[in-house]
Structure 1
């Protein structure tokens, strides 16, 4: 017999879920939380959801536990071309402007964050395929979600009639084939499917932007009907990360109910019929921050005393004090230990954490010039800052400088590979990753990178071997130890992510 979860425990568990997953369950949604926990309890092996909740509260959530909870606590309600005003803006204004602006480099990068079962990123791919010759462009469409079950369905690309409600009539023809009896089930064509890459990402916990998860220098981010489920604090942090993940001039698209100018204060709103877009304009954002600085109040000078009002007789009676002359030289003050100034790297790291990548480049380029040497940490941060701004050729140039100056350092070919993957140059990326692995067989991220590359190429068995090697290397580390070249990930978190990837690939 299942026991109803008491309100006090629901309150505790709601706070726990908010802290670990970013999902917001105020008191008005406790019934939803309770029903989700009842469903999840069985998958965790519990008959009693109360006992399951207490068990989960006793220790930090693992990646596997988060995935199970997400599958029962998140809602998979979506369909093709949902909220058509957003897609109308994408087709008639956003994409034409981007295509003109990117005509020289022929590169577009779009991210569907919280993509659910894939209808949104596939809608973007279908629309884009109607507008440009895909053979001539390098197009990245990334779909991420916290629910692995949703991602599996998205990767399959098979949908029922319900996913087409309110979709344009023309969408089925040329983009889907009937995959079920009576054409009640439709499979998306391979040419559209291959345009979209799906990946697990916890918007509340994982690091982004990062080369490792392909979330840098995005032109457009769709995140609709997602922020509304976060706590206000988590939603604000996610919005800040989205701002850093966009290229300058990039667009964030949220649902009308999430279009809060308080939440998205760093963005510049653009008003179109029926939709508000939020643009990353670095110049305006910096000007706004400067204008919001506290300005000291203007202090009016005290009025001069009315000397004429003092009687002469009284003035003559005022005592006159004589001060000793100061010595020619004052004694030396006591010496205090001077605080060390922050290093250039620490200063740049602070700017990097704030998403001020142009400022990072401005600080670090002089010390990384060909005649200035430069060390591994500084050059690595410069590469990542360039990549996060979409300056991939510049990032590759700095990688090549590093490889030329220190041929035995595995960091440079590893970063070289990450940038090449962002450019869609998978064969060259593989060669650089193999070089990094050769230089340092114990570089866990080198094996992780090769594993993900094999996954993209559909070679799961080869990918699994790379991931298993990485796991062996990581399990000898402390779970809280930061992993080199992992963009702030701990060994424990990376083990969970790799294990989850292997498990999902085996299904």
Structure 2
């Protein structure tokens, strides 16, 4: 009977339930059957297929149980660079006469992506108040949309951002950060089932830019094709579609052409109304012979490959590289980067297991304690997050991110401790070269000093 449920799930949502999610699905179904006092799965499937408000509410429970609402601000720096330097400036210039800009974040989860887009638009379009600007965030999950509208985020959602982004936030209760109300008003949220909701419609039409990233990795191939066809009809001629890396591989993208940037591929609707296949990318030249590398060179190349895949949001590639390394030896870097990938996917138990394996190899890794603290914070356990951040400082007294994270946790309830942590972080930053780049904050030391002062 699980097969029938999987087929229904794919038909209604596009989601293809993987084998690794079977246990989660079984537990959810057992819980619902017991609560509804339904004797078997056939009866539950019948409830889901009914044309009723109750069926809609039940579907919400299904998607909330079986989807992973994981996102963060300015996710995938490479793609954000393309948007800021190429796509958005081109759209602004193209639309300057009619002063209209329409952007859709499809599958927006808890809202970090559409709010990130709002920040970019505000930066690139100072006279946005004189334009008709739509920034729409949609998701199938009502629960994540409610969180998006609230605009309250943990520091985990703000990892890898600099002072320019942090300036949009103020401390709120329970260690959370509240997004600037003016920016919140620039984004509209709406429930959309990409497969079942009819669009284009009165609101979702003539879109200049659609982002649908890290959504299709969970979709059935036929569902991807159906949604992409709807996207093409919804885009303006020469409008853009940006997906996660490799998500449209081997898909028949009729009506779309490709633009190839160093950081990513971007799809663009043809100027003509007639459908056409995407342009074929040229063959890349064969690489030159690779010189013999020393052990330190190999280690650097390995970390660079893991970091590049992680920054691109290609978590499957991170896990693949790490697994290859672990098949050869019990490797700290492989465990640590696997943990980062699992955490970004919202698979916190797997992330914790990898972090504990990494700590078994290096008990003084402040970065591992720091990531564990973020996971606890994302799960709402501020007390244990605080304990883990203190462990990070014990492991490395010069680990600046832990001081700043503790300051953020203390800011609302314990302002004196907050000041102490910020002061210690400032002292450490002032000892660094001004131009030293800190990956954790995507900023130079001098910029962080200005922010703290």
1:129 equivalent to 2:122? Answer yes
User: 2:272 is paired with a residue of what secondary structure?
Assistant: helix
- With over 3 angstroms needed to count, the CA separation of the structure-2 counterparts of 1:31 and 1:283, relative to structure 1, is same
Could you report, residue by residue, the CA deviation over 1:71-116 in whole angstroms, capped at 9, with x for unpaired residues?
A: 1111101111111111111100001101111111111000011111
Aligned to 1:168: 162
Q: 1:272 aligns with which of 261, 264, 274?
A: 261
Q: 1:92 aligns with which of 85, 92, 96?
A: 85
1:186 equivalent to 2:177? Answer yes
Q: 1:54 aligns with which of 42, 50, 62?
A: 42
User: 1:256 is paired with a residue of what secondary structure?
Assistant: coil
For residues 193 and 225 of structure 2, the distance between their equivalents in structure 1, rounded to whole angstroms, comes to 15
For residues 32 and 225 of structure 1, the distance between their equivalents in structure 2, rounded to whole angstroms, comes to 20
For residues 244 and 162 of structure 2, the distance between their equivalents in structure 1, rounded to whole angstroms, comes to 20
- With over 3 angstroms needed to count, the CA separation of the structure-2 counterparts of 1:46 and 1:202, relative to structure 1, is same
- With over 3 angstroms needed to count, the CA separation of the structure-2 counterparts of 1:111 and 1:69, relative to structure 1, is same
For residues 242 and 127 of structure 1, the distance between their equivalents in structure 2, rounded to whole angstroms, comes to 22
User: 2:134 is paired with a residue of what secondary structure?
Assistant: strand
Q: Report the aligned-residue RMSD.
A: 2.1
Question: Do the aligned partners of 1:217 and 1:245 also contact (CA within 8 Å) in 2?
Answer: yes
- With over 3 angstroms needed to count, the CA separation of the structure-2 counterparts of 1:37 and 1:162, relative to structure 1, is farther
For residues 110 and 215 of structure 2, the distance between their equivalents in structure 1, rounded to whole angstroms, comes to 14
Q: 1:158 aligns with which of 152, 158, 175?
A: 152
1:244 equivalent to 2:233? Answer yes
1:73 equivalent to 2:66? Answer yes
Deviation at 1:127, TM superposition (A): 1.2
Structure 1, 225-234 or 149-158: larger mean CA deviation: 225-234
Question: Do the aligned partners of 1:11 and 1:27 also contact (CA within 8 Å) in 2?
Answer: no
Mark the structure with the bigger radius of gyration: 1
Deviation at 1:286, TM superposition (A): 3.6
Q: 1:253 aligns with which of 218, 234, 242?
A: 242
1:14 equivalent to 2:3? Answer no
- With over 3 angstroms needed to count, the CA separation of the structure-2 counterparts of 1:29 and 1:265, relative to structure 1, is farther
Deviation at 1:235, TM superposition (A): 1.1
- With over 3 angstroms needed to count, the CA separation of the structure-2 counterparts of 1:194 and 1:86, relative to structure 1, is same
Could you report, residue by residue, the CA deviation over 1:379-422 in whole angstroms, capped at 9, with x for unpaired residues?
A: xxxxxxxxxxxxxxxxxxxxxxxxxxxxxxxxxxxxxxxxxxxx
Could you report, residue by residue, the CA deviation over 1:167-204 in whole angstroms, capped at 9, with x for unpaired residues?
A: 3342111x1111135xx311111110011000111111
- With over 3 angstroms needed to count, the CA separation of the structure-2 counterparts of 1:168 and 1:29, relative to structure 1, is same
Q: Spell out the pairing of 1:321-340 with structure 2 (5 A cutoff).
A: none
For residues 109 and 150 of structure 2, the distance between their equivalents in structure 1, rounded to whole angstroms, comes to 13
- With over 3 angstroms needed to count, the CA separation of the structure-2 counterparts of 1:146 and 1:41, relative to structure 1, is farther
- With over 3 angstroms needed to count, the CA separation of the structure-2 counterparts of 1:219 and 1:38, relative to structure 1, is farther
Q: Spell out the pairing of 1:26-425 with structure 2 (5 A cutoff).
A: 26-38=18-30, 45-46=35-36, 51=39, 53-59=41-47, 60-61=49-50, 62-133=55-126, 134-173=128-167, 175-180=168-173, 184-211=175-202, 214-283=203-272, 286=275, 288=277
* Structure 2 unpaired stretches of 5+: 279-453
Question: Do the aligned partners of 1:239 and 1:263 also contact (CA within 8 Å) in 2?
Answer: no
Aligned to 2:352: none
Deviation at 1:28, TM superposition (A): 4.9
For residues 285 and 279 of structure 1, the distance between their equivalents in structure 2, rounded to whole angstroms, comes to 14
Deviation at 1:215, TM superposition (A): 0.7
Using the size of structure 1 for normalisation, the TM-score is: 0.51
For residues 39 and 177 of structure 1, the distance between their equivalents in structure 2, rounded to whole angstroms, comes to 39
Question: Do the aligned partners of 2:74 and 2:116 also contact (CA within 8 Å) in 1?
Answer: yes
User: 2:170 is paired with a residue of what secondary structure?
Assistant: strand
User: 1:58 is paired with a residue of what secondary structure?
Assistant: helix
Higher relative contact order (CA 8 A, sep 6+): 2
User: 1:204 is paired with a residue of what secondary structure?
Assistant: coil
Number of equivalenced pairs:
272
Question: Do the aligned partners of 1:111 and 1:143 also contact (CA within 8 Å) in 2?
Answer: yes
Question: Do the aligned partners of 1:46 and 1:52 also contact (CA within 8 Å) in 2?
Answer: no
For residues 261 and 283 of structure 1, the distance between their equivalents in structure 2, rounded to whole angstroms, comes to 23
Deviation at 1:125, TM superposition (A): 0.5
For residues 156 and 76 of structure 1, the distance between their equivalents in structure 2, rounded to whole angstroms, comes to 15
For residues 196 and 37 of structure 2, the distance between their equivalents in structure 1, rounded to whole angstroms, comes to 29
- With over 3 angstroms needed to count, the CA separation of the structure-2 counterparts of 1:147 and 1:38, relative to structure 1, is farther
User: 2:149 is paired with a residue of what secondary structure?
Assistant: helix
Structure 1, 62-71 or 108-117: larger mean CA deviation: 62-71
Question: Do the aligned partners of 2:154 and 2:177 also contact (CA within 8 Å) in 1?
Answer: yes
User: 1:66 is paired with a residue of what secondary structure?
Assistant: helix
Question: Do the aligned partners of 1:40 and 1:72 also contact (CA within 8 Å) in 2?
Answer: no
Using the size of structure 2 for normalisation, the TM-score is: 0.57
For residues 131 and 39 of structure 1, the distance between their equivalents in structure 2, rounded to whole angstroms, comes to 49
